[in-house]
Amino acid sequence: MEDIVLLGCSGSIGLQTIDVCYKQNDFHIVGVSLNSKIDVLEEQLKYLPYLKWVAIESKDSYLAFKNKHPEYICLNSTNCSLELLKAAKYTKVVNSIVGFNGLLPSILSLQLNKILCLANKESLVIGGDLIKEELKKGHGKLYPIDSEHVALAKLLKNVNREEISKMIITASGGSLRDYPLDKFNQISVEDVLNHPTWNMGKRITIDSSTMVNKGFEFIEASYLFDFDIENIDVLINDESLVHSALLFKDHSYLFEVGPSDMRVPISYALNETRRVNMDFKEVDFNKKCSINFRKFDYDRYPLFSLVLDTFKLKGTAMAFFNGVDEQAIKYFLEKKINFVELIDFIKSTIKNDMILISDPSIENLIYVDKKAREIVDNKLKGK
């Protein structure tokens, strides 16, 4: 039995983690954190029999929950996940916080020598060097919960790395993969949120449509597997059944194929790279089943190359990029800017307003994230 702290319990990965822990019964979730959605937590309580600590960011939600549930130790502060990590007793952390807010909890988890199951890819995208530093010092362990990276970790077991010529990260193509390019100015928020193969949170669904998410995954893979980003490629698989691939020097491939269900990667991370029984349907190749690939269309996803170019600037470049992306998406979701304006806005802001500090400390990253958001607000307020 292992005690788990789940950060970001009310989001998509959070809910699926609760499901995996409840069914596998080897993992006891003893602490959760969330922003404000206590109605979602309320629904989950029956699947959280070992819960003791509840950290809630919003003061109103905290007070409402605490009054109704005196049986839990309730915490409330602006970064209540950090408080929870320090207060609770546990061995593993699942970090499924969305965006920049996941970075500090990831670093603290490692500093506290915990096993970190990481769904928050921004931790590596923005603070990859700081995370690697902690791991190098022997603080904690890290297992990714991103479907592509779990696939790559599986593929990399028992292969000779010297024989690999490329790592291939697959993509679904996102919600706009078939949308006519000449009609992009008509794209609605609803079009973008309608993902063809995965059911995910709003920010990542939008980042999938622009392929910012895929660019982030390249960076994530390069940190996780010490692999040169120049030797990583992307390939679109329509069905999201191929989760990634390796191409070898003799031109043969290894593909990782499985259901498009995030509970598989969650379980693999929680079990520290052990495969265990899952209770849902396998991919049945006896029935009609096809696997189709298509070439990555760089015109359709201009932000993809921008992510990779920005990453090359090092320092605080990705903190700036992420801050701009996260904040601008809020305006898109509120329908204050349209999709084409969102893309153009991100492009021009990265080009003209970049704040670059080399060898950044955590304080530098926090500063640049805050500044990036202020720049977006100043430019878009009144929209």
Residue 130 near residue 107, CB atoms below 8 Å: yes
Nearest approach in angstroms of CB 202 to Mg ion is 15
Q: How many residues bind Mg ion (CB under 5 A)?
A: 3
Q: How far is the CB of 145 from Mg ion (least distance, A)?
A: 9
Residue number, 146 or 369, with CB nearest to Mg ion = 146
Among the listed ranges 140-148, 230-238, 263-271, 353-361, the one in contact with Mg ion (CB under 5 A) is: 140-148
Of 31 and 128, nearer to Mg ion (C-beta) is 128
Among the listed residues 61, 220, 247, 44, the one whose alpha carbon sits nearest the alpha carbon of residue 142: 220
Query: Closest-CB residue for Mg ion?
Result: 146
Parallel/antiparallel/unpaired status of strands 164-171 and 242-248: antiparallel
Looking at the Cβ atoms of 147 and 310, the one nearer to Mg ion is: 147
In whole angstroms, the minimum distance from the beta carbon of 308 to Mg ion comes to 16
Closest distance to Mg ion from the beta carbon of 113 (Å)? 27
Q: Which two tokens stand for residue 130?
A: 């700081």
Q: How far is the CB of 66 from Mg ion (least distance, A)?
A: 35
Of 138-146, 240-248, 351-359, 373-381, the window that binds Mg ion (rule: CB under 5 A) is: 138-146
Contacting Mg ion within 142-171 (CB under 5 A): 146-148
Nearer to Mg ion, 31 or 258 (CB): 258
CB of 381 to Mg ion, least distance (A): 32
Nearer to Mg ion, 44 or 106 (CB): 106
CA distance from start to end of the chain: 52
Q: Is 122 in the site for Mg ion (CB under 5 A)?
A: no
Q: Please report how the helices 263-270 and 12-24 are oriented relative to each other, as an axis angle in degrees rounded to 10.
A: 60
* Contacts for 100-106: CB closer than 8 Å, 24+ residues apart: 100/126, 100/319, 100/322, 100/323, 100/326, 100/369, 102/7, 102/8, 103/127, 103/362, 103/365, 104/79, 104/362, 105/7, 105/79, 105/81, 106/131
Site for Mg ion in 261-290 (CB under 5 A): none
Question: Reduced to 3 states, what is the DSSP secondary structure of residue 247?
Answer: strand
Q: Tokens 């390249």 correspond to what residue?
A: 218
Cβ-based nearer residue to Mg ion, 44 or 205: 205
Closest approach of Mg ion to the CB of residue 11, in Å:
15
Nearer to Mg ion, 303 or 380 (CB): 303
257, with CB counted inside 10 A (0-12, 13-18, 19+), is: middle
State the minimum distance, in angstroms, from the CB of residue 169 to Mg ion: 8
| For Mg ion, the closer CB: 172 or 349 | 172
Residues in 311-370 at the binding interface with Mg ion, rule: CB under 5 A: none
Structure tokens at 153: 């970790």
- Torsions phi, psi of 281, nearest 5? -65, 140
Q: What amino acid is encoded at 120 in this protein?
A: N
Phi then psi for residue 298, to 5 deg, are: -65, -25
Cα–Cα dist 146/184, whole Å: 29
DSSP category for residue 144: E
Report the C-alpha gap between 133 and 151 in whole angstroms.
25
In angstroms, give the least distance from the CB of 367 to Mg ion.
28
In the complex with Mg ion, the residue whose CB is nearer, 140 or 215, is 215
> Segment near Mg ion (CB under 5 A), from 141-149, 157-165, 187-195, 262-270?
141-149
Rg over alpha carbons for the chain, rounded to the nearest Å, is 20
Interface ranges with Mg ion (CB under 5 A) = 146-148
